[in-house]
Chains A and B, each alone.
Chain A
Amino acid sequence: MRKTHVNRTVARLVEVELRPLMDLADERAVRDAGRYAATSLELGGPHIQVALKLAVLGLDTLTVLRLGSPFSKARREPATAWWNTLRGYPGFAQLRQLVRTPAMLLFSERIHIDRRA
């Protein structure tokens, strides 16, 4: 994963989204899911990156106005609460789905399920 602002924001979004489910896997799964999502979205192509950058710009603008810093640098608790209020709105709902789709693939791969039956 390249260390870009967009990738850091994606990783942060994944962390915020998956932390409540962390007991199903482990902390490393959440971290790896963030990296995997950022890398996958980079591979998705320039049109995905443009859409992602616009969404991150919108998220950062609102987060700076609300919390005083970009989303990836905001403190975890207020950032989580803020994201939970935003994520249902048009644009942010699509951002959530875009980020969660690859993240959930890796996370679901790591969850503790008895698959032997």
Chain B
Amino acid sequence: MIAERDEAREAALTRGADVVIVGSGAGGSTMFKELTAAGLDVLLLEEGEEQIPGPTGYGGPISELTAALYRGAGVTPIFGLPPIAFAEGRALGGTTEINGGLFWRTPEWILDDWRSQGIPLQSDRYDDLFTELETGLRVGYPALVPGMDRDSELLHEGAEHLGWNVVRAPRLIPGCMSRNQCGSGCASGAKQSMSVSYIPMGKLAGGRVVTEARALRVEHDGGVARTLLVEDGATGARRSVPFRHLVVAGGAVQTPVLLRRSRMSARAGKRIGFHLNAKFLAVFPEDVNAQNGTMFNWQIQEYMKQGRIIMGTNYRPEYVSLAASTWTDGAYREWVGDYSRAALYTSQVRPQTYGTVMAMGDTAVPVLQLRRPDLHLLELGARETLQALFAAGATSVALPHAQHVVVTSPEEGREALAAMKTRDWSLSSVHAMASCSMGTGEDAVVDVRGRLSGFSNVTVADASILPSTIGESPQGTIMAIVTDIARDLAERLGGRVAAPVLAAAR
């Protein structure tokens, strides 16, 4: 059985395909599904392993799932002051295996901004595309079950009390069983991550998948990519994989490093955008039992256009550990005592400052140095989160502070936040984008069809091509734009296609 599998891997890598796709996250898998549906010969390569969630989802301890599903076992900081914990998936399905399954449409003001940069997005067709994706992925609003999701309800109550705009969050988790484990692989089998949706569809249409295959370098000459040098993680052997067309979809952090390492784009990764998350542990006078339920049910969007949103997040001891890494022993004990009355919330901000992706050997090293406007944004987001939580009845809230600072009122919080120095912020990020931005100018890394500048047969198709950060979970935007690009590519390669949204750019 193992010998057969190895032979199949060997054959797949040696033979190559008409189209080889690097990366199986939201972008790569969308390409895989679309190109195979168009009848093309497609090989999808994934650096991580195929974890194969069981019929009821991912099981086992969170620590093991973290090591199996996250790049670098979750230890992949963004360097800078302060260092920022960054997470991305490294398994079949990429980050879609470990995200919250949010599926937002691109905010209209972001589209307006992109249009002002010359990106020819057509609203009505873009909307149609989203409708198609939402239907196919069964995007909806998880049922609010009495006795569950009290943490989300409290956030909703706090926002209502303040008269703030608070909305239900659309997610691709039909039949969610509220196991509260979204960030470690869905334990219900409900989340339509790529490993259970688009990748099986692509396989059914004849596509092939090889996991544990790490793309090292693209061989090219004269503006034409020829082969992809791949390291077979199962054997350690290196193979040159031939193709007619190459799609790079390793994500906003990995893709630019592959392009730079291959000397295909000097501009790739010179600029990268992140959303930043600041976590707040709130304690309420009543039992909240935040471990019962899912996350993200409600989202406060009162200050979304200003780059700030607030939501509840998964609550389990393992997920509190990130915040607890800087706590004192006493603070940790206090939280254990308050476990059933506590809940975890996130203020997500869209900083103005962009970072860069450096390469250290084969390793991508993201770097971001926050500036004063970003710190101001974080402070405002934190103030608003405290307002909402205390309006919801919280008795105390632990700030995202490296020294574990607890406040008992918005006013006390305001003072504590004003005194915070840059290094005091305890931050994380799960959204990276815009490192190979599309554009119409000569300095764009890719054009509006995702075609890599200077190459006739290379397309980039992941979060890296977004022109900017978007202030919301980017999965929907990535999949919509890549679907459109994929249909255009399929037509160019001789497949069947639907009408494109970016028609004007042809």
Contact = CB atoms under 8 A, between A and B. Distances in A.
Contact of A40 (B74, B325, B336): B74
A39 B321 contact: no
A92 to B, nearest CB: 12
Contacts of A43: 67, 72-73, 75
Interface string A87-99: 0001001101110
Contacts of A24: 332-333, 336
A78 to B, nearest CB: 19
Interface stretch (A1-9, A53-61, A63-71, A108-116): A108-116
Contact of B321 (A47, A90, A107, A115): A107
Interface residues of B, number: 39
B163 interface: no
B147 to A, nearest CB: 10
Contact of B76 (A21, A45, A97): A45
Contacts of A115: 291, 316-317, 339
Given A108-B317, A109-B318, A115-B291, A102 B75 contact: yes
B430 interface: no
A104 B426 CA distance: 15
A62 interface: no
A111 B324 CA distance: 13
B279 to A, nearest CB: 13
Nearest to B72: A44
A45 B363 contact: yes
Contact of A44 (B73, B289, B317, B423): B73
Given A47-B360, A48-B72, A114-B340, A105 B63 contact: yes
Given A46-B363, A47-B365, A93-B402, A98 B340 contact: no
A100 interface: yes
B326 interface: yes
B320 interface: yes
Nearest to B61: A109
Interface residues of A, number: 34
Contacts of B54: none
Contacts of B497: none
B51 to A, nearest CB: 15
A106 B322 CA distance: 11
A111 B365 contact: no
Contacts of A97: 83, 325-326, 402
B75 A48 contact: yes
A113 B336 contact: yes
Contact of B73 (A39, A47, A104, A108): A39
Contacts, number: 104
A46 B363 CA distance: 7
A41 B325 CA distance: 15
A117 interface: yes
Contacts of A44: 72-73, 75-76
B75 A101 contact: yes
B329 interface: yes
B325 A36 contact: no
Given A101-B321, A115-B291, A106 B360 contact: no
B146 interface: no
Given A47-B365, A101-B85, A107-B321, A36 B336 contact: no
A17 to B, nearest CB: 9
B287 interface: yes
Contact of B63 (A45, A98, A106, A113): A106
Given A40-B67, A48-B72, A100-B325, A109 B317 contact: yes
A21 B332 contact: yes
B72 A117 contact: no
Contacts of B324: 100, 104, 108
B361 interface: yes
B262 interface: no
Nearest to A97: B325
A76 B339 CA distance: 31
Contacts of A107: 321
Contacts of B365: 47
A15 B63 CA distance: 18
Nearest to B321: A104
A43 to B, nearest CB: 4
A20 B329 contact: yes
A98 B75 contact: yes
A76 to B, nearest CB: 17
Contact of A39 (B61, B67, B333): B67
Contacts of B287: 117
A40 B79 CA distance: 18
Given A105-B66, A114-B340, A40 B75 contact: yes
Contacts of A117: 287, 289, 292, 340
Nearest to A106: B63
15 contacts: A21-B329, A24-B332, A24-B333, A40-B74, A43-B73, A44-B72, A45-B72, A46-B360, A47-B360, A47-B365, A98-B75, A101-B325, A102-B74, A108-B317, A117-B287
Given A104-B324, A108-B321, A115-B291, 17 more contacts: A40-B67, A40-B75, A43-B75, A96-B326, A97-B402, A98-B75, A98-B77, A100-B324, A104-B321, A105-B63, A105-B74, A111-B336, A115-B316, A115-B339, A117-B289, A117-B292, A117-B340
Interface of B: 61-63, 66-67, 72-77, 79, 83, 85, 287, 289, 291-292, 316-318, 320-322, 324-326, 329, 332-333, 336, 339-340, 360-361, 363, 365, 402, 423
* 5 closest Cβ pairs, A-B complex: A44-B75, A104-B321, A40-B73, A108-B317, A44-B72
